[in-house]
Amino acid sequence: MSGKILITGGAGFIGSRISARFIKEGYQVHILDNLVTGNEKNIAPEAVFHKMDLGDPALDALFAAEKFDFVCHHAAQIDVRKSVEVPAYDATVNILGSLNLLENCRKYNIKKLVYASTGGAVYGEPKYLPCDENHPIKPLCPYGITKHTVEHYIELYHMLYGLQYTILRYPNVYGHFQNPYGEAGVNAIFIGMMIRGITPTIFGSGEQTRDFVFVDDVVEGNWLALHSDKNDIFNLGWGIPISVNLIYNLLRKITGYDHDAIYAPERAGEVDKIYLCADKIKKELGWVPKVDFEQGLTITTEWFKKYPDWYKKPQR
């Protein structure tokens, strides 16, 4: 299978790696991104770039002109803390923007939609671990609410209009091309600071845990999802809890940075401990993560050392 695919958020960290894979596989790749958090350097020269907001009414004309076969939807406001501070903005981007996209998928008969949701934020503080897809949904932040709301809309569009879809609930994704100056992505932030000789801050005790999956494994999950006939929701994840303190200590070894972390009070809206069960996607789609955590951190660190100026340092 090949064809023309629109990747929303394709100038971002994960979307850009997905676009590179589909280009390699012979797809015609179009990228939609407003570059609020995306980086134009991430866009492959083989891709067609459309600088546009997800909620722009002009999206209709783009769909009409390009006649996309597939959509991989990664454009979003992803910062948990910003969602708490400005929930209306979070909802505008993640819910209303996604609705605009879904309406065009319906109107122009998209063959398949893959949606990047979140396993780290929709389940809330776990009732049991690891969290599988049947775990109760109880987000602790607006970001988790908006991402889950779009899942419901996608399922509804499937029931009403026959839209074919796969929803992927992500763990914490990390790797090369992640923004070390961003507000999300603890690994990239820590690496970026350590290689510049700056001591990172850990919020809370540092014993809070997450499930981390390397970006190349997430790309493979998207590839398998697009080529599946499953209209369903799948977790991605290793099912292994990784603490922030462990991350810090591993990165001290990898980067050679020899200073203790600074500790500060924990922040609102963040889950304490979570990791995901990915048995369902392993069984039904054959997805298996391949890059272990320390290996992934090493690859990411080497990339940041090689490309220290890939992302511009924000002006304060």
Active site residues: 143
Residue (of 241, 242, 229) closest to 187 by Cα position: 242
Which two three-digit tokens encode residue 82?
């910003």
**CA angle, residues 37, 41, 46, in degrees to nearest 5:** 120
Rg (CA), the chain: 19
Residues 6+ apart with CB under 8 A from 102: 113, 153, 154, 157, 163
225 phi and psi, to 5 degrees? -65, -45
Residue (of 284, 231, 287) closest to 112 by Cα position: 231
**Cα separation, 134 vs 215, whole angstroms:** 25
**Cα separation, 137 vs 186, whole angstroms:** 24
